[in-house]
Structure 1
Amino acid sequence: MADNDSAAGGESLRWQFSDRVLIVQFLVMIFLCINFLLIVTIFSKVYFYTTMRYILFAVTLLSDSLILLMSDSLLILSYFGFTMQIGLCVIIYIILVLFTFVTPVTLTAMTVERYVAICMPLRHGELCSTHSTLHCILIIHGLSSVPIIVILSVFFASAPQSLFTQYSICSMDKFVFLRWQDNVKLGVYQCYFLIMSATIIFAYIEIMKVAKDASREDKKSTWKGLRTVLLHGFQLLLCLIQLWCPFIETAVLRINFRLFIDVRYFNYIMFFLSPRCLSPLIYGLRDEKFVLALKHNVPFGFHCVKNNVQISFV
């Protein structure tokens, strides 16, 4: 009887997991289609791909799309029990962690760009030129690669050589053997969290000062920039909470496996997918120029947007 109950519970859990996998596929397909449309729109106009904020916007879209595609592929492979060589899993892990950091670091750079535009308008053209943007992208990827270098250095120092030729389901917990390794990873994540949070708060305070002192004509545009920074802060918070999710899931796994499945699914939807649907809202539908360009790339449904709606971005 107990065996039958256990089998029924396992079957129920598998059906529940199947439903969740299907829901994730649906959400990922929607986000990928939206991101593809926005990327095409950015590269359809010279103004967009020569302006810093749109170039950085494109970086976040490309980074998010790659993460969604790779993480969803790992989810499907894991669901069907597909195994791969640990060496290949290491390569996938490097790409995932790198671009997991690229998005929040780019959001921080976009906040700094808004700070320069509002608080240092006379130097905005010089500091945020196309040439400076290319250097900024290199710096973003350089900063984003530091965590993976630290994590893999610790991993390679403790992993046996025979591990890399073994076959297993590719999971991120394969790269943590000892408790202190978790502590090192958590320390790196917290360091990035503090630096990026401090940057957002500093930009918000400085823009707030300008908003209070601005003339009536400039006050409207300044407050729009302030709202953009707030949205960046919220999006960045969700991205940074995502960095803590593995530690929360590890703690829950020690308590109950079914609870671990529920928590992991919630974290994926709330802190992994949600931040990646905010970028189109912040830098897409709030920008009048971008909306006008987007109309020409949407095959249906978008032309019903009311012409008298004033959508602008600062």
Structure 2
Amino acid sequence: MVINDSAQLSFSVTLFLLSYIVFLIPVPLCCVFLLLTVFSTRNTPLNLAAMAVERYVAICRPLRHHQLCTAGRTYLMVALIWLASVAPDLSDLFVTLAGEPPGFFRGSVFCLRANVFPDPVMTHKRVAFDCFYFLCVFLTLTFTYVKILRAARSASARSGLAEKARNTVLLHGVQLAMCLLSYVSPGVELLLLLLFPARTREIRYVGYLLVNVLPRFLSPAVYGLRDDKFRRYFDQMQRSCWAPRKARRRPPGGALG
């Protein structure tokens, strides 16, 4: 999740800066950055679902955890997540390659998805795929949260492991809700552009921060600060930075009476 979010931020920040500095960029370069950004963005909810299922197996099926959650199965799951993320948008690329004239790809555009993939059918297909993926992820998170919540309340969960897993799945739900901002942002951005046409750059900049950057801040919180070992070293570093010095240097010549 952290690697995927880092890649998404790298691609989207690069594309955002290019759009602001250069304004018009070549169509092939725009396609590459758009597709990489979309792939890593769509990966986020699918990763949340996969990790929630892993927590469910660890808490509710502990005897089978070492059999189901192996390294090989993890690599296979990552490959399936990427395949599910890549397939819908690669079809858009193939349709654009087949339908647009060759001169279109030799030109430059302001790098927006509507400018590169203008067919309205692609928009409806993209919305349908996104709704299907988010519905599956929402049902998965709801199911695993309810099951882990029951395990946390049972007598066998006094160690606190199930309680921590329940909080992790709950944070996954918060991340998913923040990812849903990508559905609301186009309509809100269009309304704001109509009301404040002179503030186009500011509106798009704030929308980028809220939709693309802010949801990615939760990953370090979930998998960094909540980790016991990382938090222990983090607390030690804070104490070493803020604790007052126990011994101060004496002025040369000794203490004055």
Bucket of the pairwise TM-score, normalised by the shorter protein? 0.7 to 0.9
Compute the displacement of 1:61 (Å). 1.8
1:121 aligns with 2:62: yes
Compute the displacement of 1:198 (Å). 1.0
- Which residue of the partner structure matches residue 192 of structure 1? 133
Deviations along 1:169-225, one digit per CA (max 9) or x if unpaired, are 32333134244432222122111111111111111111122223333624x321221
Counterparts in 2 of 1:288 and 1:92: CA distance versus 1, 3 Å: same
Counterparts in 2 of 1:256 and 1:191: CA distance versus 1, 3 Å: farther
- Which residue of the partner structure matches residue 249 of structure 2? none
Identity of aligned residues (%): 34
Q: 1:108-187, aligned counterparts within 5 Å?
A: 108-187=49-128
Counterparts in 2 of 1:230 and 1:216: CA distance versus 1, 3 Å: closer
- Contact (CA 8 Å) 2:193, 2:203: kept in 1 or not? no
Q: What is the alpha-carbon distance in structure 2 between the residues aligned to residue 182 and residue 157 of structure 1? A: 17
Q: What is the alpha-carbon distance in structure 1 between the residues aligned to residue 211 and residue 146 of structure 2? A: 26
Counterparts in 2 of 1:133 and 1:181: CA distance versus 1, 3 Å: closer
Q: Give the counterpart of 1:107 among 37, 45, 48.
A: 48
Deviations along 1:20-75, one digit per CA (max 9) or x if unpaired, are xxxxxxxxxxxxxxxxxxxxxxxxxxxxxxxxxxxxxxxx2222222212222222
Q: Give the counterpart of 1:272 among 191, 194, 212.
A: 212
- Contact (CA 8 Å) 1:108, 1:196: kept in 2 or not? yes
Compute the displacement of 1:264 (Å). 3.1
Q: What secondary structure does 2:180 align onto?
A: helix
1:221 aligns with 2:157: no
1:96 aligns with 2:68: no
RMSD over aligned Cα atoms: 2.8
- Which residue of the partner structure matches residue 211 of structure 1? 152
- Contact (CA 8 Å) 1:189, 1:243: kept in 2 or not? no
Q: What is the alpha-carbon distance in structure 2 between the residues aligned to residue 161 and residue 246 of structure 1? A: 30
Q: What is the alpha-carbon distance in structure 1 between the residues aligned to residue 239 and residue 125 of structure 2? A: 48
1:235 aligns with 2:235: no
Q: What is the alpha-carbon distance in structure 1 between the residues aligned to residue 94 and residue 10 of structure 2? A: 26
- Contact (CA 8 Å) 1:102, 1:141: kept in 2 or not? yes
- Which residue of the partner structure matches residue 24 of structure 2? 83
Q: What is the alpha-carbon distance in structure 2 between the residues aligned to residue 247 and residue 175 of structure 1? A: 19
Counterparts in 2 of 1:256 and 1:187: CA distance versus 1, 3 Å: farther
Counterparts in 2 of 1:252 and 1:195: CA distance versus 1, 3 Å: farther
Compute the displacement of 1:294 (Å). 6.5
In the comparison of the two structures, how many residue pairs are matched?
243
Q: What secondary structure does 1:177 align onto?
A: coil
1:288 aligns with 2:228: yes
Larger radius of gyration: 2
Compute the displacement of 1:91 (Å). 1.4
Deviations along 1:241-261, one digit per CA (max 9) or x if unpaired, are 225534543565466534655
TM-score, normalization by structure 1: 0.68
